[in-house]
């Protein structure tokens, strides 16, 4: 599977897990932002700072600090929006893109070679108390 498709699938799976759990135990806001930026490249979609805050799933102030750390470490670049001077866009840096794609490809290989999980037994039928007339 291609790295961008893996990223998109992983994002959907993480959102699905977050909906199932009352507390998102699978939450990693930095990974959510990085995966969304990779998917956005393929979709030719801009990602604003505010969109990245939303995708992170954490409070805005926490997301802003996280974005600042991603910029400081060289994983993400801030660029002015070409049509809206009030907005800033985020982009993956080339080195972060390369590292993320390599990680996703290793993940895909590991998942493809992992043994299939054992099948769970079928659930027992639910007993009903029906009154016969």
Domain presence at residue 80: yes
pLDDT at 80: 93
pLDDT tens column, 20-49: 555 454 468 888 899 999 999 999 999 999
pTM of the model: 0.73
Q: Which of 52, 54, 62 is nearest to 92 (CA)?
A: 52
How much is the pLDDT for 8?
Answer: 81
Note whether 38 and 7 are within 8 A (CB): yes
> Rounded CA gap, 98 and 5, in Å?
15
Task: Give the CATH number, domain containing residue 31.
Answer: 1.10.10.10
What's the domain count of the chain? 1
- What per-residue confidence (pLDDT) applies to 103? 84
According to the model, what pLDDT value does residue 28 have? Answer: 84
Pair 52, 90: CB distance under 8 Å: yes
Rounded to an integer, the average pLDDT of 94-123 is 80
Is 123 domain-assigned? no
Residue 125 maps to a domain: no
119 part of a folded domain? no
Q: What residues make up the domain containing 37? A: 3-109
In a domain, 115, yes or no: no
The more confident residue out of 124 and 133 is 124
133, part of any domain: no
Residue 69 banded pLDDT, cuts 50, 70, 90: very high
Whether 94 is in a domain gets the answer yes
> To the nearest whole number, what is the mean pLDDT of the chain?
82
Structure tokens at 83: 């049509």
Residue 27 counted as domain residue: yes
């Amino acid at each position: 599977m291609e790295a961008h498709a893996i990223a998109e699938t992983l994002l959907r799976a993480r959102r699905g897990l977050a909906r199932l759990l009352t507390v998102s135990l699978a939450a990693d806001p930095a990974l959510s932002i990085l995966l969304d930026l990779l998917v956005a490249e393929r979709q030719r979609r801009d990602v604003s700072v505010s969109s990245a805050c939303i995708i992170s799933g954490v409070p805005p102030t926490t997301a802003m600090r996280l974005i600042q750390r991603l910029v400081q470490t060289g994983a993400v670049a801030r660029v002015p929006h070409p049509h809206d001077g009030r907005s800033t866009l985020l982009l993956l840096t080339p080195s972060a893109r390369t590292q993320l794609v390599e990680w996703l490809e290793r993940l895909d290989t590991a998942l493809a070679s992992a043994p299939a999980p054992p099948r769970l037994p079928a659930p027992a039928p639910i007993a009903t108390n029906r009154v016969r007339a």
